[in-house]
């Protein structure tokens, strides 16, 4: 019978904890003894999982919806990034991707779908018709941008945008999710008033754009606008830079 020698792990009394360097030193000692220890924040671990597994509720109404279908095919294969899971129920989705024209009759339904989505939730606007009304902007029946209905996290302009642009925009959303503070607000430090307001609305777990005023959304949590896809961008390699926080 094989007998494996494992490192002895004892409890870590609270009074012995001094700072992060002490914790890192203890982790190094355990790793030298054959124990695999990785130190990180729970926020980072949760956001890593959330950013690589968004559950999308697709709201495609016209041409841009066809481009969304293209990135699901083998040539672009969005499944390698974890985006292939789509849901027919808003209660099982945390991302809504709007692609196409939104009429005034559709607006209440779209807003209701957004309200029924699970928190924290995100909105991606794909194409000129979704962002501004496109060629139908002067029509009496068309909404001139879904940002008038719900807060938008990423704008992907185009008529329609190419699949590479949609992939690039979704990667920007991933970067945005990775820097969120899941257990203490989203993307910025909270004042005492914001903390009290968020607690009154149900807690501090993954606040969405809906908790902020228009001015706050434009400053503290401004949406990402994909104005140009870099010429050297390769969907197979992904983004070359990563986002860091203070």
The pLDDT profile of the chain, 246 residues, written as one tens digit per residue, is 454 545 455 565 656 666 667 777 777 887 887 777 777 777 788 888 888 888 888 888 888 878 878 888 888 888 888 888 888 888 888 899 888 888 899 889 999 999 888 888 889 999 888 888 888 888 888 888 888 888 888 898 888 888 888 888 888 888 888 877 766 554 444 566 766 776 676 655 444 445 554 444 444 456 676 656 676 666 656 565 544 444
Residue 96 lies in a domain: yes
CA angle 209, 159, 227 (to 5 degrees): 55
Residue 245 lies in a domain: no
Q: Considering Cα of 203, then 82, then 47, then 156, what sign does the dihedral take? A: negative
CATH number for the domain harbouring residue 59: 3.40.50.12280
The contacts of residue 212 (CB under 8 Å, 6+ apart) are 151, 220, 221
Residue 120 lies in a domain: yes
In angstroms, the CA 235 to CA 71 distance is 11
Give residue 246's pLDDT.
40
Supply the Cα-derived Rg of the chain in whole angstroms.
Answer: 22
- Domain coverage including residue 141: 54-179+212-225
Residue 157 lies in a domain: yes
Give residue 218's pLDDT.
44
In the chain, the number of structural domains is 1
Residue 195 lies in a domain: no
Residue 146 lies in a domain: yes
Give residue 60's pLDDT.
82
Give residue 11's pLDDT.
60
Give residue 214's pLDDT.
44
Give residue 237's pLDDT.
63
The contacts of residue 95 (CB under 8 Å, 6+ apart) are 54, 55, 56, 57, 121, 122, 123, 124, 173
Give the model confidence (pLDDT) of 43-53 as tens digits.
788 888 888 88
Residue 29 lies in a domain: no
Residue 21 lies in a domain: no
| pTM assigned to the model | 0.67
Give residue 186's pLDDT.
45
């Amino acid at each position: 019978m094989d007998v494996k020698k494992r490192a002895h792990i004892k409890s870590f009394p609270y009074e012995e904890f001094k700072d992060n360097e002490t914790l890192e030193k203890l982790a190094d000692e355990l790793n030298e003894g054959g124990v695999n220890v990785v130190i990180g924040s729970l926020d980072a671990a949760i956001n890593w999982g959330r950013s690589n597994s968004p559950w999308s509720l697709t709201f495609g109404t016209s041409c841009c919806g066809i481009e969304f279908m293209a990135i699901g095919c083998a040539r672009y294969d969005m499944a390698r990034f974890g985006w292939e899971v789509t849901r027919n129920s808003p209660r099982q989705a945390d991302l809504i991707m709007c692609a196409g024209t939104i009429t005034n009759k559709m607006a209440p339904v779209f807003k209701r779908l957004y309200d029924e989505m699970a928190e924290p939730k995100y909105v991606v606007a794909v194409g000129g018709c979704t962002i501004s009304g496109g060629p139908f902007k002067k029509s009496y029946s068309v909404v001139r941008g879904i940002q008038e209905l719900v807060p938008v996290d990423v704008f992907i302009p185009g008529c329609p945008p190419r699949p590479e642009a949609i992939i690039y925009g979704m990667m920007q959303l991933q970067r945005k999710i990775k820097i969120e503070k899941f257990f203490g607000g989203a993307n910025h430090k909270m004042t005492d008033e914001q903390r009290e307001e968020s607690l009154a609305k149900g807690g501090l777990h993954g606040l969405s754009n809906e908790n902020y005023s228009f001015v706050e959304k434009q400053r503290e949590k401004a949406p990402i606008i994909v104005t140009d896809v870099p010429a050297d961008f390769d969907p197979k390699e992904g983004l070359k830079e990563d986002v860091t926080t203070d």
